[in-house]
Amino acid sequence: MADARVLIVEDDGITARYVQGCLRGHGFRATTVVASGRDALRQAAALEPDLMVVDIRLREEDLDGVETVRRVRQRSDVPVIYLTGYSDDDTIRRAGATSPQGYIVKPFQQRELIAAVEIALRDRGRRSAAAEGEPYRSIVENQVEMVCRFRPDGTLTYANPACCQAFGKSPEELLGSSFWSLVAPPDREAVQRRVALLGRNRAAEVHEHRALALSTMGAADGAGVAQAEPELRWQQWSIRAFLDSAGSVTEYQAVGYDITERRQREIDRDQRLGELREALARRRPVQGMVPICASCKRIRNERDEWEPLEGFLRDHYGIEFTHGLCPECMERLYPGYPPPPSETDTETEPDAEQ
């Protein structure tokens, strides 16, 4: 802040030297004094000051302090502090239209001047930082992924629109609440343990947990948040820790995705693989000794169940059966009934000439 360039526009020599002396006494070395609006315009273009201290009433009738600031502001957003004695209402209204950072009424104390200057310079620094970060903030605001930041105790300090939409809450409802409350209770303790491990030796981690949230499809298709019903869904989160110079965590940033559909596909795949393995196990040829009932001829399978021989052979060898009766069983079951003809039996056709 001491390196700030300050342009003093004051036509009263005593007041100008007093302002310059106060600033230099507090470490502000780069100070320039001009006594007219025209000189102020030239110096503002050449120096690009970080702050202007301007007397509202300059001697030039066509270029007083307010008009000077208005022209400077056409090409620069340099902060301005006005020095003023008594001024008419019209001048005050004109000064207010230039959005100054402060007014100091003559006569003033040194501490009033320094306090106003420091506040104006801090405000300029915040606005510059915000302007530099605006493109990046816009990217985060428009991301389809959930993005949030929270303190070590879990208090949420930021949530982008996608995060608010996923949980069906407004920014006002989410900010100040706990990130841990967004995690389903069965998974909450495990997530807290994982995040607590982040630090100097491990800055980031990725995990999956369940959360009571809205379907991403329902949120994206424009359905009203108030009309959608939350459900238990799977999410994947990448969490990074931010550390201070001592290595202590000051904040976490988290980026999340809804992976419910992917998890369901994995469950369906595992189920199909299990069924396939079971089917293959049943079809696997049996080797060695096979227990068979000496009376009913049932087979004891690998599940220790007794099943018909036909089913056992079908499951393990892929053999299909067609059922009939052998001659012995035919005679036993249907005595006196003519047995079925064998494949070698042929019928002799009567001689047509006889």
Q: Which residues pair with 213 in a beta bridge?
A: 231
* Residue range 123-169, pLDDT digits in tens: 766 665 545 545 556 666 777 889 999 999 999 999 999 999 999 99
CATH number of 143-264: 3.30.450.20
Q: Quick one: pLDDT at residue 343? A: 54
Q: Quick one: pLDDT at residue 273? A: 87
Peptide bond before residue 107 is cis, with ω within 30 degrees of 0: yes
Closest to 164 (Cα-Cα) out of 152, 185, 147, 184: 147
Whether 228 and 242 have beta carbons less than 8 Å apart is answered as no
pTM as predicted: 0.44
- Residue 294 DSSP SS3: coil
Percent of the chain with pLDDT over 70: 83
Cα–Cα distance measured from residue 29 to residue 42, given in angstroms and rounded to the nearest whole number? 20
The DSSP annotation for 263-283 comes to HHHHHHHHHHHHHHHHHHHHH
* Residue range 108-119, pLDDT digits in tens: 888 888 888 888
Enumerate the domain spans of the chain: 6-137, 143-264, 284-342
- Residue 347 DSSP SS3: coil
Average pLDDT of the chain, as a whole number: 82
- Residue 202 DSSP SS3: coil
Q: Quick one: pLDDT at residue 123? A: 77
The CATH fold of domain 6-137: Rossmann fold (3.40.50)
Q: What angle do CA 233, 235, 240 make, to 5 degrees?
A: 155
* Residue range 270-295, pLDDT digits in tens: 888 888 887 776 666 666 788 888 88
> Which position has the higher pLDDT, 353 or 40?
40
Percent of the chain with pLDDT over 90: 31
Phi, psi of 258 (to 5 degrees): -85, 125
Q: Quick one: pLDDT at residue 2? A: 62
Closest to 78 (Cα-Cα) out of 67, 69, 87: 69
